[in-house]
């Protein structure tokens, strides 16, 4: 998926989010509600474009780390961004003990990468390099803004469903009504998960592939993903991590809180086994002397 396609997806998602607020606002409150919906859409889009990185950093309790504090972390990222001819992102460490990592921001010039305390404890340097190459690929592919807008849609649908519930009530003159409000409460989380799934699965495959070529070590990323999959199901995330932002992480941070069955249909991440299989295929290609790039 090229950066150009991601830009188009970003604007399409922004338009979808804006249209959602306007339609529901007009449905609930007529002409006045339409204008309120338009103002809310503008506010949400403005906030997610300019402050998405700060929101993600705050909700994961990530702290900035200097090169003096974590020289190896800075060295690995600097080597990778130089190979990709990218700006150096801001580097953070989250206090989450669940092993994970994410990238956020609105573009490569305003990007941030965060790793958790947990991931630093279980990965060796080679594996950590593979994970960081994956996250930097999200930045270079301009996935990070798409991811932020997807999170905005998830949060916005939830917000709209609550509006529908409170304003729907039992008023027979309201076209939404109590039944519509109840349906909105049921369907909104499902719609949010479907949107996240649609924009996330292909992105993770692409970041795995781009990261494997960037690090020249797909086996290290495959090994890291297997470790993260095994450990993340045992360690709950921070309470501030919500389903609307779970797709930003390299592996699903809510895996320890989820059961199997129907919920697995709405996972925001591809199956780890499939990701590992694809990385092993890339490794075989590289060993066979195929050109990198």
C-alpha distance from residue 14 to each of 11, 43, 47, 147, 288 (Å): 5, 12, 12, 12, 43
Show Cβ contacts of residue 9 under 8 Å, excluding neighbours closer than 6 positions. 146, 199
**Contacts with 281 (C-beta within 8 Å, 6 or more apart), sequence order:** none
Helix axes 125-140, 71-84, angle to 10 degrees: 50
In Å, how far from its chain's centre is CA 21?
A: 22
Q: What are phi and psi of 113, to 5 degrees?
A: -125, 135
Active site residues: 135
Nearest Cα to Cα of residue 282 among 228, 168, 227, 206: 206
Whether the CB-CB separation of 103 and 80 falls below 8 Å is answered with no
Six-digit token pair at 21? 């607020």
Sign of the torsion formed by the C-alpha atoms of 240, 243, 244 and 245:
positive
Contact 35, 25 (CB under 8 A): yes
């Amino acid at each position: 998926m090229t950066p150009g396609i991601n830009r188009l997806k970003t604007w399409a998602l922004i338009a979808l989010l804006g249209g959602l607020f306007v339609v529901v606002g007009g449905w609930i409150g007529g002409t006045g509600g339409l204008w309120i919906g338009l103002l809310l859409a503008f506010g949400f889009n403005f906030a997610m474009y300019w402050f998405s990185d700060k929101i993600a950093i705050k909700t994961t309790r990530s702290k900035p780390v200097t090169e003096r504090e974590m020289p190896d972390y800075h060295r690995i990222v600097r080597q990778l961004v130089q190979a990709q001819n990218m700006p150096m992102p801001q580097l953070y460490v989250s206090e989450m003990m669940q092993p994970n990592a994410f990238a956020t921001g609105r573009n490569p010039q305003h990007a941030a990468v965060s790793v958790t305390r947990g991931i630093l404890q279980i990965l060796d340097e080679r594996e950590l390099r593979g994970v960081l190459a994956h996250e930097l690929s999200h930045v270079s592919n301009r996935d990070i803004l798409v991811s932020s807008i997807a999170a905005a849609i998830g949060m916005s649908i939830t917000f709209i469903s609550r509006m529908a519930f409170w304003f729907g009530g039992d008023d027979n003159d309201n076209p939404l009504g109590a039944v519509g409000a109840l349906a909105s409460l049921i369907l909104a989380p499902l719609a949010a998960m479907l949107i996240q799934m649609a924009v996330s699965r292909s992105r993770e495959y692409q970041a795995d592939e781009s990261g494997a070529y960037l690090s020249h070590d797909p086996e290290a990323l495959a090994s890291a993903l297997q470790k993260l999959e095994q450990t993340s199901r045992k360690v709950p995330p921070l309470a501030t991590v919500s389903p609307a932002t779970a797709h930003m992480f390299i592996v699903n941070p809510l895996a320890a809180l989820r059961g199997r069955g129907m919920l697995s249909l709405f996972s925001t991440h591809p199956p780890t086994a499939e990701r590992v299989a694809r990385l092993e295929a890339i490794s075989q290609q590289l060993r066979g002397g195929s050109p990198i790039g």
